[in-house]
Amino acid sequence: MTSYWQDFPGIPEALERVSGIIRETSASENPIISQGLAGLFDGQGKLLRPGLLLITAGFGKIQDKHYTLAACLEMLHMATLIHDDVIDESPTRRGRPAVHAQYGNRNAVLMGDYLLSRCFLLASEYTSADNAVGLARVIATICGMEIEQNSDRFRTNISLRHYLRKIMGKSAALFALACHVGASEARASKALTAQLRRIGYNIGMAFQIIDDILDYAGDPGTVRKPLGNDLKDGLVTLPLICAIRGEGAFAPEDAGTLRGFFSADHFSVGDSGAIIGLVRNSGGLEAARAYAEKYTARAIREIAALPAGSPRDMLDRLTRLLLVRDA
């Protein structure tokens, strides 16, 4: 975590405080909860959402509750990771065995529920009623989108529009919320809060697209999760959508072969190795990256219009950093 944020003045210290709150909240009387959550947390996520909330708080007057709310967002994120890994039967997370792999599905489902409720508890104690409502709404949206994504598994006719709507709900909405809560709880003006919320949305869209690219192109040692996971799980994401649409076709014959796989309504797990190769060859990754760049450019443009100062500089730096990340 520290190395990621080293060029962001004040943020590593602030995130240290946030981590303390997460550790404290996770230190339940129950040893399984404490160990399971400590293990996941020490697995060292980037603390991206808390970091974003803290940076945007800098556009107003940062308050004690910001640290708690930042912790709350990370706990929500951890809850979704735990349940996702149960659902996807993913053996590892952050380079370690996933919670369900260590403690069983039963405990993993309950631990996710526990975290969700602790997160709501903190939200209802520390945030305005409006923001508590916002948080609950985002979680409901995330679950709705995940269920929708699930009914789309192995379906081949996923449109670009459908994909974008899905990543908005399951991912960008939480980034937007982080910025909204950071700014509004710091009493930034409504206009500024709305602007930061849009920036969060664009950052989140770019972030998820890069994530989807890394599933095709990442170095397993760096990404710390199995490569090709999404596709094996039946998820059709942007690199594949671009390749099928022929958007990145510097090898049109590969795009053609790819469309062959998709002449049926469904593809099968067995096809995923071949599909990954074809997507790489046909320029699908580059085409997808162009979308990430588009959302990043939008964010950068809105950031340039923000009041000058350290928070603005940090938002700009973070946005650019996320575009070139390799994990």
The number of residues that bind its own copies (CB under 8 A) is 42
Q: Shortest gap between Cβ of 109 and its own copies (angstroms)?
A: 5
Residue 148 as a binder of its own copies (CB under 8 A): the answer is: yes
Q: Shortest gap between Cβ of 49 and its own copies (angstroms)?
A: 17
Task: Report the C-alpha gap between 2 and 289 in whole angstroms.
Answer: 27
Burial of 138 (0-12, 13-18, 19+ CB in 10 A): buried
Burial of 61 (0-12, 13-18, 19+ CB in 10 A): exposed
Q: How far is CA 181 from CA 8, 33, 137, 146, 305, in A?
A: 20, 28, 13, 23, 20
Residue 133 as a binder of its own copies (CB under 8 A): the answer is: yes
Task: Report the C-alpha gap between 291 and 207 in whole angstroms.
Answer: 11
Q: Shortest gap between Cβ of 76 and its own copies (angstroms)?
A: 10
Both tokens assigned to 214:
């890394």
**In the set 6, 9, 16, 30, which binds its own copies (CB under 8 A)?**
30
- For its own copies, give the closer residue by CB, 34 or 44: 34
Residue 41 as a binder of its own copies (CB under 8 A): the answer is: no
DSSP structure class, residue 168: I
Residue 171 as a binder of its own copies (CB under 8 A): the answer is: no
Both tokens assigned to 268:
């099968």
Q: Shortest gap between Cβ of 127 and its own copies (angstroms)?
A: 9
**In the set 10, 12, 17, 32, which binds its own copies (CB under 8 A)?**
32
Task: Report the C-alpha gap between 167 and 204 in whole angstroms.
Answer: 9
Residue 189 as a binder of its own copies (CB under 8 A): the answer is: no
| Interface contacts to its own copies, rule CB under 8 A | 28-33, 83, 86-87, 105-107, 109-114, 116-118, 120-121, 123-125, 129, 132-133, 135-137, 139-140, 142-144, 146-148, 150-151
